[in-house]
Structure 1
Amino acid sequence: MIDKAKLDENLTTEALLERLLALRADLIRVANDWLDSYQDSFSSASAGKSARNFAHYLALRSEDIRPLQGLLARHGLSSLGRNEPHVLAGLDRVIQMLAYYSGRQVQLPYQSYCSIDEGFRALEQNTRELFGDKYYARSSYIMVTLPSKAGDDPTLIRSLLESGMDIARINCAHDGPEAWLRMIEFIRHEEQKLGKACRIQMDLAGHKIRTGRLAKREPVLKLRPQRNYLGRVLSPATIDLIAEPSPEAANGINTMPGTSTGAVTDTDFTTPPKLSLPEEIIDAIQPGDRLVMLDARGSKRSLYVTDTIPGRARANTYKTLYMTPDVQLTWRHDSPRRLGSGDRRRTLG
């Protein structure tokens, strides 16, 4: 492994040579271990040159070789950054150059790998087998993911082929077998008319590991007053009390628009959230009344009624509170009245 702490910028060519020899040994060891993990298909001893080169590439990229690359560049040598087709051959070439500068004779342990010329030939051959022959004077291939409408519009396929499409990608996570077959038929038909071959890649739909059921969590409504930088309250948190049933809060405590159940819904100081209460309570409640509770943290909190109109009231609080669906409210007027026995319990929606 490369010890970055010991990579001094003033390393001599001989010391840098020792670093590369150690890196070479590490690459061979890690690559063999990786190949042996696929022993059901082949072992490290029977792996072909392309497979072995791929293993060397994975081993090299598992290291952070950037400090080493900088030192190689300072000595006017290849920084190993373009050696993908011939990883070990490229590394050995740099080692031999350093050995020459250092006046040393280096005997590298034998390892079967792609030479530089073999690597480029294999890359060209495999590219042609995978993507087909080139029809244009460019080094790149153009792959186009076909949209759903390509299964109903052969003129779209023709225009894509005329514009240089080399590979048509069909995303099997969308549409269905009938649409895929029509796309393929359109491609083959237009191929014959244009005299141009086009490869087709069927991208199979795999497991949607990025999605899944969301864990069920109890929804929480957070009310917090607006404070200045000293923590002093500038304005209280406000909540609207509305009569049930109500289309605005048919399920009790109503989260603000754009929020999802299961998350903490925070006040935005512009749109008060809503709490539905029985109609007889809303009709009887008066400014100055209080709704007292133990919030989700077990803290005693109060909502103070400030305004009432038919079917609605507004209350505020000067302390931060967290309300959950099973919150129990006590209405304090002339005499305390308990809200929370069966039908008094509200549900967060």
Structure 2
Amino acid sequence: MSAKRPSKIALKTADALLAWYDRHARALPWRAAPGSNAPDPYRVWLSEIMLQQTTVAAVTPRFAEFIARWPSVEALAAAPEADLMAAWAGLGYYARARNLHACARAVVERGGFPATEAGLRELPGVGAYTAAAIAAIAFGERAVVVDANVARVVARLFAVERPLPAAMPDLRAATDTITPDARAGDFAQAMMDLGSSVCTPRRPRCLACPLSADCAAYRTGNPEGFPIKAAKPIKPQRYGTIFWAEHAGRVLLVTRPPRGLLGGMRALPTGPWADTPPGLADPPFEAEWQLLPNTVAHVFTHFRLELALAVARADGQAGVEEHCGAYWEATGIDSAGLPTVFAKAATAIRRAKW
């Protein structure tokens, strides 16, 4: 779609929003101050990847940890993938971490980040939204940036009646009509901040909004009714068993296959994830496994998972570490970088008496 240059009304909207942003911009560690030079593309890219499906509050301290450990894209590219995957634990959507590493290496190989939206789309793990955000924020290119917050603002501003997610092409086209040529990065971040702090999902603060005078949803008297959302399908329920094998105060950990859900992550051994509870099927080795009375639940993007917890002593089991994985100090299991579902299970097992 070719860019639609903003009309006079749209420019008025952009001016009002940017003036509001100059006063109310959030101070975030990956941002430059409003109206200043573009920030480091490495920081912008890293933050955008981290913020996918993850809140600003959760990302902010983890971003600081990453920057302290890997202050440049070159440092990140040179890091062992296993270290990066462990550092990513708890942020979820672990394919992002693998793509992060691949992208860092690709950037280093080509001598730096591409400065255009089209060039950024060629990088591993960089989709349409992320490319637009980096192009606008880091390089000042006019790009149409639509995340969940922006989609909500635009749906209300234009009172878009088509339900989400089918309405996304309409919302992108509408955002295109109000995106200015100048200060493209500030405009994108202003829209994000407006959606985060003023045009919120529930109880939007319309009286504090710089765009309320031109907001079609506000004029309906029911701004909270937008965006219209299609009914969510019910997530299927699946079941599994996590195995906790302890020997001399240490617990057996494995590395999951490199591809697939939680791929390449350090984890507790698990049997199959199935439509019915698998019990003690497929343990890491034969032992006197004991099922604990409690279970652990976790919700993934496409299904819900309930996990039984099986425990055993691995004393006298020859070859377990060689063929199954490696042992980790049970008291220091929090430092193993386990994905959230396995960290939950570890906490529940350590609290149980068995």
Larger radius of gyration: 1
Give the structure-1-normalised TM-score. Answer: 0.21
Give the structure-2-normalised TM-score. Answer: 0.21
- Structure holding more strand per residue: 1
- Structure holding more helix per residue: 2
